[in-house]
Amino acid sequence: MTGEPYYRDTVAEVDLDAIAHNVGEFRRRLPKKIRLMAAVKANAYGHGAIPVSRAALQAGATDLGVAFLDEALELRRGGVTAPILVLGDVPPNAVEVALEGDIALTVYRFDTAKAISEAAVRMGRKARVHVKVDTGMGRLGLWGETAVPFVEEVASFPGLEVEGLYTHFATADAADKTYTENQHRLLMNVVKELRKRGREIPLVHCSNSAAAIDCPDYAHSMIRLGISMYGYYPSDEVNREAVRLRSALTLKTRVVYLKRPPAGCGISYGKTFIADGSRWVATLPIGYADGFSRSLSNRGEALIRGTRVPIAGRICMDQTMLDVTEAMPVKVGDEVVLYGCQGNESIHVDEVADRLGTISYEVTCMIDRRVPRVYKRSGRTVGWVNALAATSEPAPGAGLDDG
């Protein structure tokens, strides 16, 4: 490793040991024959798709799930060879690219299934598809009663293998599982009817993180592990004793300027924070363009020298100010943690999400690619990704090799 991999004081550190631990927590609850899909869409929920995929596969994941074909192709270009399923829509004109990459596709429309079949025949390949059934999410998929004839017809298309059948739960993270139970029943009705007709689907899957925690009997052929792989519980209502999760992400930066503004001086746009002459203000090189939400202006907190300090004024596009008076003596270069632990203090992503009126998923996904990702194992840096410079470097033997 030569030269500097990135030139920012702001980084998102990802603990690959935490990713592995979280996968292991679910893997130990599953029979060996049941597969585990790691959901790495949205750049692995902001953590970095390729390094996280490799860490998850090494820890016991068998499959990868993405939202769009481009995400699957990024993994293939990165040397990841594990089975990948595109959970979202794929345009018919992109089917050949998917088949070249040996990427499984979701189908719920005849035109897409036909395009996949025609491409498979032209290319002399077998295309793997998973049929999406809408049991109550109201998003993508066939309504239950139409799924059986759809599967029957699509299974007859040349070049197609109906490898999977799945649905997505809408309220599995709620304490009341009535709606989830009904969704599961509707999916199993489709499975049973297909069996009556002599058709066995190899992979039946419906469990997201919440269902994998609270409804272990719904695992069937495979679970799809999303938010909990990154160390977050889907809600406060799931059984947190069932699995012990470790947060993988730390968002940190450094103080680049320190001053004590005179009384009456406004801090940042709009003059929403007024200095009284006694307060010390530190400037950080991170802003809302990095995914650090402007809605945290005058509301959020950060950690410096193990002390919680408030955000002072409005968060700018590229910079944020803190009132660090209570943490003095502070100096330029001091580390600041925005999400994560420092000393005996911590700011959990769930806490940030609560302040923003949102969920942990959005908080981590918001972190922009211009923030370098730095990967850790056993406390040491084993690699990084700097999307702006289009550079990445795994340390030799660091466990970032192909999964």
* pLDDT one-digit tens code per residue, 374-392: 999 999 999 999 998 866 6
Q: What is the mean pLDDT of residues 213-230?
A: 99
317 is in an annotated binding site: yes
Catalytic hit among 41, 132, 177, 376: 41
pLDDT of residue 3: 40
Check pLDDT > 80 for residue 397. no
The torsion angle over the Cα atoms of residues 315, 317, 319 and 324, rounded to 10 degrees, is 10
* pLDDT one-digit tens code per residue, 88-114: 999 999 999 999 999 999 999 999 999
Check pLDDT > 70 for residue 395. no
pLDDT of residue 291: 99
Check pLDDT > 90 for residue 4. no
Catalytic hit among 126, 192, 257, 269: 269
263/11 Cα distance (integer angstroms): 33
CB 232 within 8 A of CB 22: no
- Decide which of 245 and 392 is more confident: 245
Phi first, then psi, for residue 11 (nearest 5°) are: -140, 155
Check pLDDT > 60 for residue 262. yes
Helical pair 49-59 and 69-77, crossing angle rounded to 10 deg: 70
pTM of the model: 0.94
**Average pLDDT taken over every residue of the chain:** 96
139 is in an annotated binding site: yes
Which residue ranges does the chain devote to CATH 3.20.20.10?
A: 16-229
The class (CATH top level) of 249-393 is mainly beta
The class (CATH top level) of 16-229 is alpha beta
> Which among 400, 403, 368, 363 is positioned nearest to 387, based on CA atoms?
368
Which residue ranges does the chain devote to CATH 2.40.37.10?
A: 249-393
261/264 Cα distance (integer angstroms): 8
CB 226 within 8 A of CB 210: no
* pLDDT one-digit tens code per residue, 333-344: 999 999 999 999
* pLDDT one-digit tens code per residue, 284-315: 999 999 999 999 999 999 999 999 999 999 99
Sign of CA pseudo-dihedral 392, 339, 23, 15: positive
* 361 in catalytic set: no
Burial class (CB in 10 A: 0-12, 13-18, 19+), 244: exposed
* pLDDT one-digit tens code per residue, 57-98: 999 999 999 999 999 999 999 999 999 999 999 999 999 999
* 6 in catalytic set: no
Q: What is the CA radius of gyration of the chain?
A: 24
